[in-house]
Structure 1
Amino acid sequence: MSKKVVLLDYGSGNIRSGERALQRVGADVTVTADFDEALNADGLLVPGVGAFEACMTGLKRVRGDAVVDRRLTGGRPVLGICVGMQILFARGIEHGVETEGCEQWPGTVERLQPLSQEPVPHMGWNTVDVPAGSTLFDGIEKERFYFVHSYGVREWELEGARESVAPLVTWTTYGADRFVAAVENGPLSATQFHPEKSGDAGAALLANWVRSL
Protein backbone atom coordinates (compact mmCIF):
# COMPACT_ATOMS: atom_id res chain seq x y z
CA MET A 1 0.00 0.00 0.00
CA SER A 2 1.39 3.41 -1.00
CA LYS A 3 2.50 5.76 1.73
CA LYS A 4 0.48 8.98 1.88
CA VAL A 5 2.75 12.02 1.72
CA VAL A 6 1.63 15.65 1.92
CA LEU A 7 3.85 18.15 0.14
CA LEU A 8 3.17 21.34 2.06
CA ASP A 9 2.10 24.16 -0.26
CA TYR A 10 2.88 27.39 1.59
CA GLY A 11 3.95 29.52 -1.36
CA SER A 12 7.62 28.57 -1.43
CA GLY A 13 7.73 27.36 -5.03
CA ASN A 14 9.39 24.20 -6.34
CA ILE A 15 6.21 22.25 -5.69
CA ARG A 16 5.66 20.31 -8.91
CA SER A 17 9.17 18.90 -9.22
CA GLY A 18 8.90 17.61 -5.66
CA GLU A 19 5.50 16.11 -6.39
CA ARG A 20 6.79 14.29 -9.47
CA ALA A 21 9.86 13.02 -7.62
CA LEU A 22 7.73 11.55 -4.81
CA GLN A 23 5.35 9.97 -7.29
CA ARG A 24 8.33 8.46 -9.09
CA VAL A 25 9.24 6.51 -5.94
CA GLY A 26 5.70 5.27 -5.37
CA ALA A 27 4.31 7.73 -2.83
CA ASP A 28 0.64 8.76 -2.85
CA VAL A 29 1.19 12.54 -2.95
CA THR A 30 -1.16 15.36 -2.03
CA VAL A 31 -0.11 18.99 -2.51
CA THR A 32 -1.98 21.06 0.05
CA ALA A 33 -1.80 23.61 2.85
CA ASP A 34 -4.63 21.93 4.75
CA PHE A 35 -3.62 21.57 8.40
CA ASP A 36 -5.43 18.31 9.11
CA GLU A 37 -4.23 16.58 5.95
CA ALA A 38 -0.67 17.64 6.65
CA LEU A 39 -0.96 16.49 10.26
CA ASN A 40 -2.38 13.06 9.48
CA ALA A 41 -0.37 11.98 6.43
CA ASP A 42 2.23 9.22 6.74
CA GLY A 43 4.91 11.75 5.81
CA LEU A 44 5.16 15.52 5.42
CA LEU A 45 7.61 17.12 2.98
CA VAL A 46 8.43 20.80 3.53
CA PRO A 47 10.03 22.34 0.40
CA GLY A 48 11.68 25.73 0.25
CA VAL A 49 13.03 28.12 -2.36
CA GLY A 50 14.06 31.73 -1.87
CA ALA A 51 14.70 33.78 1.23
CA PHE A 52 14.53 32.45 4.79
CA GLU A 53 12.30 35.32 5.97
CA ALA A 54 9.80 34.91 3.12
CA CYS A 55 9.59 31.15 3.65
CA MET A 56 8.96 31.58 7.38
CA THR A 57 6.25 34.14 6.66
CA GLY A 58 4.55 31.75 4.24
CA LEU A 59 4.93 28.81 6.58
CA LYS A 60 3.32 30.67 9.49
CA ARG A 61 0.51 31.90 7.26
CA VAL A 62 -0.68 28.29 6.79
CA ARG A 63 0.29 27.23 10.36
CA GLY A 64 3.01 25.06 8.91
CA ASP A 65 5.29 25.67 11.87
CA ALA A 66 2.56 24.34 14.17
CA VAL A 67 1.87 21.25 12.06
CA VAL A 68 5.59 20.42 11.95
CA ASP A 69 5.80 20.73 15.72
CA ARG A 70 2.64 18.65 16.28
CA ARG A 71 3.85 15.91 13.96
CA LEU A 72 7.25 15.70 15.60
CA THR A 73 5.71 15.64 19.09
CA GLY A 74 3.81 12.56 17.95
CA GLY A 75 6.83 10.97 16.27
CA ARG A 76 5.44 11.47 12.75
CA PRO A 77 8.01 11.91 9.96
CA VAL A 78 8.87 15.27 8.39
CA LEU A 79 11.40 15.93 5.60
CA GLY A 80 12.67 19.44 4.83
CA ILE A 81 14.43 20.33 1.58
CA CYS A 82 16.75 23.31 0.89
CA VAL A 83 15.20 26.37 2.61
CA GLY A 84 12.67 23.87 3.98
CA MET A 85 15.64 22.48 5.90
CA GLN A 86 17.03 25.89 6.88
CA ILE A 87 13.80 27.09 8.50
CA LEU A 88 13.90 24.12 10.88
CA PHE A 89 16.84 25.81 12.64
CA ALA A 90 16.59 28.53 15.27
CA ARG A 91 17.39 31.55 13.11
CA GLY A 92 18.43 32.80 9.71
CA ILE A 93 20.50 35.90 8.93
CA GLU A 94 20.25 37.34 5.43
CA HIS A 95 21.42 40.84 4.44
CA GLY A 96 21.73 41.75 8.12
CA VAL A 97 18.15 40.73 8.91
CA GLU A 98 17.70 38.06 11.57
CA THR A 99 14.55 35.93 11.38
CA GLU A 100 13.37 33.33 13.87
CA GLY A 101 12.99 29.83 12.46
CA CYS A 102 11.02 26.83 13.69
CA GLU A 103 13.68 26.12 16.36
CA GLN A 104 13.57 22.35 15.98
CA TRP A 105 17.37 22.52 16.08
CA PRO A 106 19.62 25.23 17.50
CA GLY A 107 21.86 26.93 15.00
CA THR A 108 22.11 29.80 12.55
CA VAL A 109 21.64 29.84 8.78
CA GLU A 110 24.19 32.29 7.38
CA ARG A 111 25.89 33.20 4.12
CA LEU A 112 28.42 30.71 2.80
CA GLN A 113 32.08 31.69 2.98
CA PRO A 114 34.04 29.57 0.50
CA LEU A 115 37.11 31.81 1.04
CA SER A 116 38.52 31.14 -2.42
CA GLN A 117 37.58 31.69 -6.05
CA GLU A 118 34.25 29.84 -5.86
CA PRO A 119 31.23 32.06 -6.47
CA VAL A 120 28.14 32.33 -4.29
CA PRO A 121 25.50 31.01 -4.82
CA HIS A 122 26.85 27.50 -4.66
CA MET A 123 25.38 25.72 -7.67
CA GLY A 124 26.34 22.22 -8.71
CA TRP A 125 26.97 18.62 -7.76
CA ASN A 126 28.80 17.64 -4.58
CA THR A 127 29.62 14.47 -2.73
CA VAL A 128 28.71 14.35 0.95
CA ASP A 129 30.32 12.95 4.10
CA VAL A 130 27.71 10.51 5.43
CA PRO A 131 27.87 9.16 9.02
CA ALA A 132 27.44 5.47 9.72
CA GLY A 133 23.89 4.29 10.23
CA SER A 134 22.18 6.69 7.82
CA THR A 135 18.74 5.70 6.55
CA LEU A 136 18.44 8.46 3.95
CA PHE A 137 21.76 7.63 2.30
CA ASP A 138 21.57 3.84 2.55
CA GLY A 139 23.25 2.49 -0.60
CA ILE A 140 24.06 5.94 -2.01
CA GLU A 141 26.74 7.16 0.38
CA LYS A 142 29.23 7.87 -2.44
CA GLU A 143 26.83 9.59 -4.83
CA ARG A 144 26.69 13.25 -5.82
CA PHE A 145 23.73 15.54 -5.09
CA TYR A 146 22.63 18.85 -6.58
CA PHE A 147 22.97 22.03 -4.52
CA VAL A 148 21.79 25.57 -5.29
CA HIS A 149 22.00 28.00 -2.37
CA SER A 150 23.86 30.95 -0.90
CA TYR A 151 23.21 30.20 2.79
CA GLY A 152 23.70 27.23 5.06
CA VAL A 153 24.37 26.01 8.58
CA ARG A 154 28.12 26.18 9.09
CA GLU A 155 28.18 25.10 12.75
CA TRP A 156 26.20 22.26 14.32
CA GLU A 157 25.22 23.46 17.80
CA LEU A 158 23.29 20.51 19.21
CA GLU A 159 25.85 18.98 21.53
CA GLY A 160 25.60 16.67 24.52
CA ALA A 161 22.82 14.42 23.19
CA ARG A 162 22.87 10.86 24.39
CA GLU A 163 24.75 8.70 21.90
CA SER A 164 21.75 6.42 21.30
CA VAL A 165 19.60 9.33 20.14
CA ALA A 166 22.23 11.72 18.73
CA PRO A 167 21.27 13.18 15.34
CA LEU A 168 23.15 11.95 12.28
CA VAL A 169 24.68 14.98 10.57
CA THR A 170 25.95 14.78 6.98
CA TRP A 171 28.44 17.44 5.87
CA THR A 172 29.85 18.73 2.61
CA THR A 173 32.38 21.35 1.60
CA TYR A 174 32.40 24.15 -0.96
CA GLY A 175 35.81 25.63 -1.46
CA ALA A 176 37.20 26.18 2.03
CA ASP A 177 33.77 26.23 3.66
CA ARG A 178 32.04 23.32 5.37
CA PHE A 179 28.31 23.17 6.02
CA VAL A 180 25.50 20.81 6.94
CA ALA A 181 24.21 18.87 3.92
CA ALA A 182 21.62 16.74 5.74
CA VAL A 183 20.34 15.82 9.20
CA GLU A 184 18.51 12.72 10.44
CA ASN A 185 17.05 13.19 13.90
CA GLY A 186 14.35 10.64 14.75
CA PRO A 187 11.22 11.57 12.77
CA LEU A 188 12.80 14.80 11.50
CA SER A 189 15.05 14.66 8.44
CA ALA A 190 16.28 17.35 6.08
CA THR A 191 18.62 17.98 3.15
CA GLN A 192 20.27 21.21 2.04
CA PHE A 193 20.55 19.85 -1.50
CA HIS A 194 17.63 19.10 -3.81
CA PRO A 195 16.95 15.35 -4.06
CA GLU A 196 14.21 16.06 -6.61
CA LYS A 197 16.90 17.55 -8.90
CA SER A 198 19.58 14.96 -8.12
CA GLY A 199 18.70 12.28 -10.66
CA ASP A 200 18.79 8.63 -9.66
CA ALA A 201 20.68 9.36 -6.43
CA GLY A 202 18.02 11.80 -5.31
CA ALA A 203 15.27 9.36 -6.23
CA ALA A 204 16.99 6.69 -4.16
CA LEU A 205 17.16 9.03 -1.17
CA LEU A 206 13.46 9.87 -1.43
CA ALA A 207 12.66 6.17 -1.81
CA ASN A 208 14.65 5.45 1.36
CA TRP A 209 12.64 8.11 3.19
CA VAL A 210 9.26 6.90 1.91
CA ARG A 211 10.10 3.31 2.87
CA SER A 212 10.91 4.47 6.38
CA LEU A 213 7.48 6.03 6.95
Structure 2
Amino acid sequence: MIGIVDYGRGNLRSVEKALEKLGFEAGILRSPDELKKTDGLILPGVGAFADAMEALNREGWVQPLRDYAGSGRPFLGICLGMQLLFEMGEEHGEHPGLGLLPGRVVKFPAGLKIPHMGWNTLRLVRESPLTAGIPDNSYFYFVHSYYAQADEDCIAGVSEYGITFPAFTGRDNIWGAQFHPEKSSPWGLVMLKNFGKWVGEHEHISGN
Protein backbone atom coordinates (compact mmCIF):
# COMPACT_ATOMS: atom_id res chain seq x y z
CA MET A 1 0.00 0.00 0.00
CA ILE A 2 1.06 3.59 -0.67
CA GLY A 3 0.65 5.76 2.40
CA ILE A 4 -0.18 9.48 2.25
CA VAL A 5 0.90 11.41 5.34
CA ASP A 6 -1.84 13.46 7.00
CA TYR A 7 -0.38 16.22 9.16
CA GLY A 8 -2.98 18.84 8.29
CA ARG A 9 -1.04 20.49 5.45
CA GLY A 10 -1.84 18.70 2.19
CA ASN A 11 -4.29 17.94 -0.61
CA LEU A 12 -4.64 14.38 0.61
CA ARG A 13 -7.77 13.27 -1.15
CA SER A 14 -6.69 14.48 -4.60
CA VAL A 15 -3.46 12.45 -4.31
CA GLU A 16 -5.35 9.41 -3.02
CA LYS A 17 -7.94 9.64 -5.82
CA ALA A 18 -5.23 9.94 -8.50
CA LEU A 19 -3.48 6.80 -7.22
CA GLU A 20 -6.76 4.88 -6.98
CA LYS A 21 -7.65 5.95 -10.53
CA LEU A 22 -4.35 4.41 -11.64
CA GLY A 23 -5.22 1.15 -9.88
CA PHE A 24 -2.98 1.40 -6.83
CA GLU A 25 -3.98 0.78 -3.23
CA ALA A 26 -3.52 4.00 -1.29
CA GLY A 27 -4.50 5.18 2.15
CA ILE A 28 -4.27 8.33 4.26
CA LEU A 29 -2.08 7.87 7.35
CA ARG A 30 -3.16 9.76 10.46
CA SER A 31 -0.56 8.32 12.83
CA PRO A 32 3.14 7.41 12.48
CA ASP A 33 2.22 3.95 13.76
CA GLU A 34 0.53 3.31 10.42
CA LEU A 35 3.80 3.63 8.50
CA LYS A 36 4.60 -0.02 9.11
CA LYS A 37 1.76 -1.17 6.84
CA THR A 38 3.01 0.79 3.80
CA ASP A 39 5.38 -0.14 0.98
CA GLY A 40 5.78 3.43 -0.31
CA LEU A 41 5.09 6.88 1.06
CA ILE A 42 3.93 10.28 -0.21
CA LEU A 43 4.43 13.45 1.84
CA PRO A 44 2.14 16.15 0.38
CA GLY A 45 2.03 19.73 1.54
CA VAL A 46 0.55 23.19 1.04
CA GLY A 47 1.44 26.27 3.06
CA ALA A 48 4.42 27.48 5.06
CA PHE A 49 7.59 25.51 5.79
CA ALA A 50 7.75 26.52 9.47
CA ASP A 51 4.10 25.66 10.15
CA ALA A 52 4.46 22.30 8.44
CA MET A 53 7.57 21.32 10.40
CA GLU A 54 5.88 22.44 13.62
CA ALA A 55 2.92 20.17 12.81
CA LEU A 56 5.17 17.22 11.95
CA ASN A 57 7.07 17.68 15.21
CA ARG A 58 3.92 18.12 17.29
CA GLU A 59 2.31 14.99 15.89
CA GLY A 60 5.43 12.85 16.21
CA TRP A 61 6.17 12.35 12.51
CA VAL A 62 9.72 13.67 12.18
CA GLN A 63 11.87 10.78 13.39
CA PRO A 64 9.53 8.10 11.96
CA LEU A 65 9.76 9.81 8.53
CA ARG A 66 13.57 9.89 8.79
CA ASP A 67 13.57 6.22 9.76
CA TYR A 68 11.24 5.42 6.87
CA ALA A 69 13.56 7.15 4.41
CA GLY A 70 16.45 5.17 5.84
CA SER A 71 14.58 1.90 5.27
CA GLY A 72 15.00 2.23 1.51
CA ARG A 73 11.29 2.21 0.74
CA PRO A 74 10.11 4.62 -2.01
CA PHE A 75 9.42 8.11 -0.62
CA LEU A 76 7.97 11.04 -2.62
CA GLY A 77 7.46 14.61 -1.41
CA ILE A 78 5.03 16.87 -3.30
CA CYS A 79 5.17 20.70 -3.37
CA LEU A 80 5.78 21.79 0.24
CA GLY A 81 6.37 18.11 0.96
CA MET A 82 9.38 18.23 -1.37
CA GLN A 83 10.73 21.34 0.37
CA LEU A 84 10.46 19.63 3.77
CA LEU A 85 12.91 16.96 2.58
CA PHE A 86 15.73 19.51 2.72
CA GLU A 87 17.90 20.61 5.62
CA MET A 88 16.63 24.15 6.18
CA GLY A 89 13.82 26.51 5.22
CA GLU A 90 14.03 30.31 5.33
CA GLU A 91 10.31 31.15 5.47
CA HIS A 92 9.63 33.32 8.58
CA GLY A 93 13.18 32.75 9.85
CA GLU A 94 15.41 29.69 9.63
CA HIS A 95 13.79 26.38 10.46
CA PRO A 96 15.27 22.86 10.19
CA GLY A 97 13.63 20.46 7.75
CA LEU A 98 13.73 16.68 7.66
CA GLY A 99 17.33 16.75 6.43
CA LEU A 100 16.88 13.90 3.93
CA LEU A 101 18.36 15.87 1.02
CA PRO A 102 21.16 18.48 1.13
CA GLY A 103 20.06 22.05 0.52
CA ARG A 104 17.84 24.86 1.80
CA VAL A 105 14.53 26.39 0.80
CA VAL A 106 14.58 30.11 -0.06
CA LYS A 107 12.21 32.74 -1.45
CA PHE A 108 12.13 33.66 -5.12
CA PRO A 109 14.12 36.83 -5.87
CA ALA A 110 12.50 40.23 -5.39
CA GLY A 111 10.68 41.53 -8.44
CA LEU A 112 9.03 38.25 -9.39
CA LYS A 113 5.30 37.89 -8.94
CA ILE A 114 4.65 35.25 -6.32
CA PRO A 115 3.37 32.71 -5.94
CA HIS A 116 4.68 31.12 -9.11
CA MET A 117 1.36 29.62 -10.16
CA GLY A 118 0.23 27.74 -13.23
CA TRP A 119 1.65 25.47 -15.89
CA ASN A 120 5.37 25.37 -16.56
CA THR A 121 7.78 23.05 -18.34
CA LEU A 122 10.08 20.56 -16.65
CA ARG A 123 13.51 20.13 -18.22
CA LEU A 124 14.94 16.76 -17.24
CA VAL A 125 18.63 16.78 -16.32
CA ARG A 126 19.08 13.38 -14.65
CA GLU A 127 17.36 10.02 -14.75
CA SER A 128 14.82 8.97 -12.14
CA PRO A 129 12.49 5.96 -11.95
CA LEU A 130 9.64 8.46 -11.69
CA THR A 131 10.26 10.25 -14.99
CA ALA A 132 10.37 7.16 -17.23
CA GLY A 133 8.31 7.80 -20.37
CA ILE A 134 7.86 11.52 -19.66
CA PRO A 135 9.14 13.71 -22.53
CA ASP A 136 11.56 16.51 -21.80
CA ASN A 137 9.88 19.91 -21.38
CA SER A 138 6.49 18.43 -20.48
CA TYR A 139 4.11 20.73 -18.61
CA PHE A 140 3.31 20.43 -14.90
CA TYR A 141 1.22 22.53 -12.51
CA PHE A 142 2.99 24.69 -9.89
CA VAL A 143 1.89 26.80 -6.91
CA HIS A 144 4.77 28.04 -4.70
CA SER A 145 6.63 31.12 -3.47
CA TYR A 146 9.81 29.38 -2.30
CA TYR A 147 12.19 26.99 -4.04
CA ALA A 148 14.95 24.59 -3.05
CA GLN A 149 18.60 25.51 -3.44
CA ALA A 150 19.60 21.88 -3.82
CA ASP A 151 22.98 20.25 -4.26
CA GLU A 152 23.59 19.60 -7.93
CA ASP A 153 23.69 15.83 -7.52
CA CYS A 154 20.11 15.95 -6.18
CA ILE A 155 18.62 17.90 -9.09
CA ALA A 156 16.79 15.75 -11.63
CA GLY A 157 14.66 18.41 -13.32
CA VAL A 158 14.54 22.19 -13.53
CA SER A 159 12.04 24.88 -14.50
CA GLU A 160 12.33 28.60 -15.29
CA TYR A 161 10.64 31.42 -13.43
CA GLY A 162 12.89 34.44 -13.50
CA ILE A 163 15.65 32.04 -12.48
CA THR A 164 16.34 28.38 -13.14
CA PHE A 165 15.17 26.47 -10.08
CA PRO A 166 15.08 22.77 -9.11
CA ALA A 167 11.62 21.43 -9.83
CA PHE A 168 12.26 17.70 -9.42
CA THR A 169 14.84 16.53 -6.92
CA GLY A 170 16.09 13.42 -5.21
CA ARG A 171 18.37 10.41 -5.12
CA ASP A 172 18.20 6.74 -4.15
CA ASN A 173 14.72 6.12 -2.68
CA ILE A 174 13.89 9.75 -1.85
CA TRP A 175 12.37 12.06 -4.49
CA GLY A 176 10.50 15.33 -4.53
CA ALA A 177 8.32 17.21 -7.02
CA GLN A 178 7.90 20.97 -6.56
CA PHE A 179 4.84 20.76 -8.84
CA HIS A 180 1.60 18.87 -8.17
CA PRO A 181 1.61 15.65 -10.23
CA GLU A 182 -1.95 14.89 -9.08
CA LYS A 183 -3.07 18.11 -10.84
CA SER A 184 -0.76 17.75 -13.87
CA SER A 185 -2.61 15.39 -16.17
CA PRO A 186 -1.46 13.60 -18.26
CA TRP A 187 2.24 13.62 -17.38
CA GLY A 188 1.64 13.98 -13.68
CA LEU A 189 -0.38 10.78 -13.77
CA VAL A 190 2.49 9.07 -15.58
CA MET A 191 4.78 10.14 -12.73
CA LEU A 192 2.39 8.78 -10.12
CA LYS A 193 2.00 5.57 -12.13
CA ASN A 194 5.78 5.23 -12.22
CA PHE A 195 5.86 5.74 -8.46
CA GLY A 196 3.20 3.08 -7.92
CA LYS A 197 5.02 0.60 -10.15
CA TRP A 198 8.28 1.32 -8.35
CA VAL A 199 6.60 0.69 -4.99
CA GLY A 200 5.29 -2.63 -6.31
CA GLU A 201 8.71 -3.66 -7.60
CA HIS A 202 10.34 -2.74 -4.29
CA GLU A 203 7.67 -4.69 -2.39
CA HIS A 204 8.35 -7.77 -4.56
CA ILE A 205 12.14 -7.52 -4.12
CA SER A 206 11.94 -6.96 -0.37
CA GLY A 207 9.42 -9.76 0.06
CA ASN A 208 6.96 -7.67 2.04
Normalising by structure 2, we get a TM-score of 0.89
What is the CA-CA distance between 1:5 and the residue it aligns to?
0.7
Counterpart selection for 1:11 from 5, 8, 11: 8
For residue 137 of structure 1, give the secondary structure of its aligned residue in structure 2: coil
Using the size of structure 1 for normalisation, the TM-score is 0.87
Q: Is the 8 A contact 1:24 1:203 kept in 2?
A: no
For residue 128 of structure 1, give the secondary structure of its aligned residue in structure 2.
strand
Q: Which moved more, 1:127-136 or 1:68-77?
A: 127-136
Task: Give the letter for the 2:147 counterpart.
Answer: G
- Whole-angstrom CA distance in 1 between matches of 2:75 and 2:126: 21
CA distance in 1, matches of 2:36, 2:67: 7
Unaligned runs of 5+ in 2: 200-208
Higher mean alpha-carbon deviation, 55-64 vs 45-54, is at 55-64
* Correspondence for 2:23 among 12, 23, 26: 26
- Displacement over 6 Å in runs of 4+: none
Question: Does 2:132 correspond to 1:138?
Answer: yes
Q: Distance in 2 between matches of 1:183 and 1:57?
A: 23
Identity among equivalent positions (%) equals 39
Counterpart for residue 53 of structure 2: 56
- 1:86 is the counterpart of 2:83: yes
Alpha-carbon shift at residue 169 of structure 1 (Å): 2.3
Question: Could you say what secondary structure the match of 1:94 adopts?
Answer: coil
Deviation at 1:168, TM superposition (A): 5.0
Which of 161, 171, 182 is the aligned partner of 1:174? 161
CA RMSD of aligned residues (A): 1.6
How much has 1:203 moved relative to structure 2?
0.6
- The structural deviation recorded for 1:16 is 1.1
Give secondary structure in 2 for the equivalent of 1:203.
helix
Q: Show CA shifts across 1:162-209 (max 9, x none).
A: xxxx5452111112x121101131111110000011111111100001
Find the residue that maps to 1:173 and give its secondary structure.
strand
Number of residue pairs matched by the alignment: 198
Q: How much has 1:114 moved relative to structure 2?
A: 7.1
